[in-house]
Structure 1
């Protein structure tokens, strides 16, 4: 792998069950167990996975369609079932559903026409997140020497 292909985040514990992930550009997102004692509605890691699945495809589809017309509605619903079986805890039945609308006009007609193809292309080859999940890439977990 090259330096250009490497992607990384650092996850730091902020308190019991609560964490902040920081990317190489300094962006942050907080998450945890979903039971924020301060009343916040933090995301859980599973919800972040769902957001990554929807977000990755949404970016691809937005780039392809919005060059023709600005959407009047662009929403992506991502669902799945969390189960525990002989394979351990995991998600099944993952589904990404787009709800996109465009106003009238020639550009909007082109955007509507390419929408299904853009969703399929993202799912089949462009979206790194869904492609990684579907191909079943192994994950290695290690502990650094303290």
Structure 2
């Protein structure tokens, strides 16, 4: 496996319920939206917000810890003749730093950090914006019931 390859496995754990498992053993449960669990679209929004939040957090917390750090991510789910997709995606930062010199430095860095994340660093939003193709296939399996 290369150092750049990233993988997750999605396992069905029940009707409309799934778990994504990463190579380090981390697990995220999600589903079709029948319960309170995240849907795949909500996970996409979380990934967009989380990716850029990490970049901005690393840059600003070199100076001080935030008093508040939230990223509101939203978009419109569209179903039309082109199929299902998300449009009008946005991530809005709601961040507050303490008063004083260190807070002032963090406040000054935040807009640049968010822009750098969007323009260069955040793999998730950059992949979405580029429109990277996704290939789907069905593997042949000896486990097939026939």
Superposition TM-score tier, normalisation by shorter sequence = over 0.9
Structure-2 residue corresponding to 1:121: 116
Moved runs in structure 1, 4+ residues, more than 6 A? none
Structure-2 residue corresponding to 1:19: 18
2:117 partner SS: helix
- Could you list the per-position Cα deviations for residues 73-122 of structure 1 after superposition, in whole angstroms to 9, with x for gaps in the alignment? 00000000000112100000000000000011111111000110000000
In 2: Cα distance, 1:15 partner to 1:135 partner: 34
Q: Which consecutive residues of structure 2, in runs of 5 or more, have no partner in the other structure?
A: 142-146
In 1: Cα distance, 2:34 partner to 2:75 partner: 20
Structure-2 residue corresponding to 1:49: 44
TM-score by length of 2: 0.95
State the superposition RMSD in angstroms: 0.8
Structure-1 residue corresponding to 2:5: 6
Structure-2 residue corresponding to 1:89: 84
Work out the number of aligned pairs and report it.
141
TM-score by length of 1: 0.95
In 1: Cα distance, 2:82 partner to 2:54 partner: 32
Q: Specify which of 56, 59, 62 is matched with residue 54 of structure 2.
A: 59
Shift of 1:4: 0.3
Q: Which consecutive residues of structure 1, in runs of 5 or more, have no partner in the other structure?
A: none
In 1: Cα distance, 2:122 partner to 2:63 partner: 21
Structure-1 residue corresponding to 2:72: 77
Structure-2 residue corresponding to 1:104: 99
Structure-2 residue corresponding to 1:139: 134
